[in-house]
């Protein structure tokens, strides 16, 4: 009798336990665990520093937020151009490691500046620079992580694994926020930068574990990730109707998110006069959002994507938001606003985000590594800036009226993209027609 192959061997105790919560198939354990560890570390780092960014935003004031967003858009644009230049010139492993090491160096530089500069005016400008850098870092590093995920996973894998991997990131964010609250009084803001730099280097170790013995041909041959010029990603969005419709989806989504953000900010500012009480409100809501997000990512996301495809993930949340808006309009209560915004934020991370990533899994390398980053960062952040100026100028009474058309547009375009994606997946075709 021949010995059983590794594929025929029963899973060990840990893998058996893990499969009770995550639909991991044979050979996917390392991919899942290393990806979860990497995303946990990335989100932990981001949330460790988020409090400093929010503090800077309160100094700038609500009226100054669009200007900070504009600076972030400029920084993200420069980062993306450099990113596209590099992906044409080196294999993925070298590129990802270089990007993470560069982020750690930037964090070390901020640590050094805070340790050596005492002038309040200079420190204020360093704070604004950090706000722009952090916001770009937040978007670009997360986008880079998901680019690697959509490149390594087939669509069926993505539907099973993206939700639980996202839950690991959510838990990492909770750990990062809690660690910042506990440590800032002991190590100061500059100490948090040093800890964040160490975490980024730990993320490097997680990536090396994840990418060990790669089967990717460009890793063994040394060729670059993608072909085409620096601006190839934008040209693909212009030429491919699928990507053009996805760009419209991003514009509608960011408009609705901006309207929701300013609506909640105005409501809370009127309902809670004291800043200390507002801080309690936001921290409580964030804790509820993180809890709900993790639960949905672990127990709902994979099942929903498997049963209904990306259509539900892309189109359902605006409908839920409209129901919440209707209830708040009927009964103007702070609790209803908090519940509506908690469900909204949780849905964006646990439903919309995984569905957006699954959409890219069957597409080509240039689309994944160039068009996707353009859509996820430059277009996303640029739309944020434009809608921030618009909604920031509106009065409270008109914020919801201005937001509702974008919610309807988001849902309609998301449903059309999802149906088209399902038809192409079923037919095994990709003829590039619009939804």
* 127: confidence class by pLDDT, cuts 50, 70, 90: confident
- pLDDT above 70 covers a percentage of the chain that reads 86
Continuous H helices in 61-154: 65-87, 92-116, 120-152
Residue 298's alpha-carbon distances to 87, 165, 174, 279, 314, in angstroms, are 33, 9, 15, 29, 18
pLDDT tens readout for residues 148-165: 999 999 999 999 999 999
Cβ pair 230, 81 in contact under 8 A: yes
Contacts of 425 by beta carbon, 8 Å cutoff, 6+ apart: 155, 309, 362
pLDDT of residue 4 exceeding 60:
no
* 410: confidence class by pLDDT, cuts 50, 70, 90: very high
pLDDT of residue 303 exceeding 80:
yes
pLDDT of residue 358 exceeding 70:
yes
pLDDT of residue 220 exceeding 60:
no
Residue 249: name the closest of 381, 359, 412 by CA.
412
All structural domains of the chain, each given as residue ranges with its CATH number in brackets, are 28-426 (1.20.1250.20)
pLDDT of residue 62 exceeding 60:
no
Q: What is the mean pLDDT of residues 356-385?
A: 89
pLDDT tens readout for residues 310-349: 999 999 999 999 999 888 888 878 889 899 999 999 999 9
pLDDT of residue 168 exceeding 80:
yes
pLDDT of residue 124 exceeding 70:
yes
Look-up: residue for tokens 């170790």?
205
- Alpha carbon distance 59, 56 (integer Å): 5
Backbone angles phi, psi at 361, to 5 degrees: -60, -35
How many other CB atoms are there within 10 angstroms of residue 402's CB atom? Answer: 18
Out of 163-167, 188-192, 251-255, which region has the weakest mean confidence (pLDDT)?
188-192
> Helix 310-330 crosses helix 353-360 at what angle (to 10 degrees)?
160
Q: What is the mean pLDDT of residues 255-267?
A: 87
């Amino acid at each position: 009798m021949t010995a059983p192959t590794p594929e025929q061997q029963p899973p060990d105790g840990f893998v058996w336990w893990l499969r009770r919560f995550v639909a991991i198939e044979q050979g996917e354990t390392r991919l899942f665990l290393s990806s979860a560890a990497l995303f946990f570390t990335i989100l932990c780092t981001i949330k460790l520093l988020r409090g400093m960014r929010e503090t800077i935003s309160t100094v700038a004031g609500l009226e100054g937020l669009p200007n900070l967003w504009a600076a972030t858009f400029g920084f993200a644009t420069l980062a993306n151009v450099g990113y596209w230049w590099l992906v044409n010139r080196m294999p993925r492993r070298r590129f990802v490691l270089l990007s993470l090491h560069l982020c750690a160096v930037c964090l070390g530089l901020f640590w050094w500046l805070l340790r050596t500069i005492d002038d309040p005016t200079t420190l204020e400008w360093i704070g604004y620079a950090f706000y722009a850098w952090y916001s770009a870092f937040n978007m670009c590093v997360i986008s880079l992580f998901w680019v690697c995920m959509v490149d390594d996973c087939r669509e069926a894998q993505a539907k099973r694994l993206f939700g639980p991997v996202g839950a690991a990131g959510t838990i990492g964010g909770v750990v990062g926020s809690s660690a910042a609250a506990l440590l800032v009084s002991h190590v100061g803001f500059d100490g948090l930068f040093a800890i964040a730099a160490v975490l980024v280097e730990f993320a490097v170790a997680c990536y090396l574990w994840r990418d060990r013995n790669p089967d990717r041909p460009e890793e063994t041959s040394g060729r670059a990730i993608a072909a085409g010029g620096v601006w190839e990603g934008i040209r693909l969005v212009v030429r491919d109707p699928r990507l053009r419709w996805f760009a419209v989806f991003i514009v509608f989504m960011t408009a609705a998110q901006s309207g929701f953000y300013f609506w909640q900010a105005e409501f809370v500012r009127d309902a809670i006069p004291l800043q200390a009480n507002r801080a309690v409100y936001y921290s409580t809501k964030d804790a509820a959002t993180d809890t709900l997000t993790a639960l949905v990512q672990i127990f709902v996301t994979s099942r929903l994507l498997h049963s209904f495809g990306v259509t539900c993930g892309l189109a359902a949340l605006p409908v839920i938001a409209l129901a919440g808006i209707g209830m708040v309009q009927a009964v103007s209560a702070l609790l209803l606003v908090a519940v509506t915004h908690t469900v909204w934020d949780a849905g964006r991370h646990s439903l919309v985000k995984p569905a957006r990533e699954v959409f890219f899994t069957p597409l080509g390398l240039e689309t994944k590594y160039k068009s996707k980053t353009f859509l996820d960062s430059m277009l996303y952040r640029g739309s944020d800036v434009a809608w921030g100026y618009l909604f920031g100028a509106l009065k409270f009474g008109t914020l919801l009226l201005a937001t509702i058309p974008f919610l309807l547009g988001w849902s309609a375009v998301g449903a059309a993209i999802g149906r088209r994606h399902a038809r192409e997946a079923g037919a095994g075709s990709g003829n590039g027609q619009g939804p």
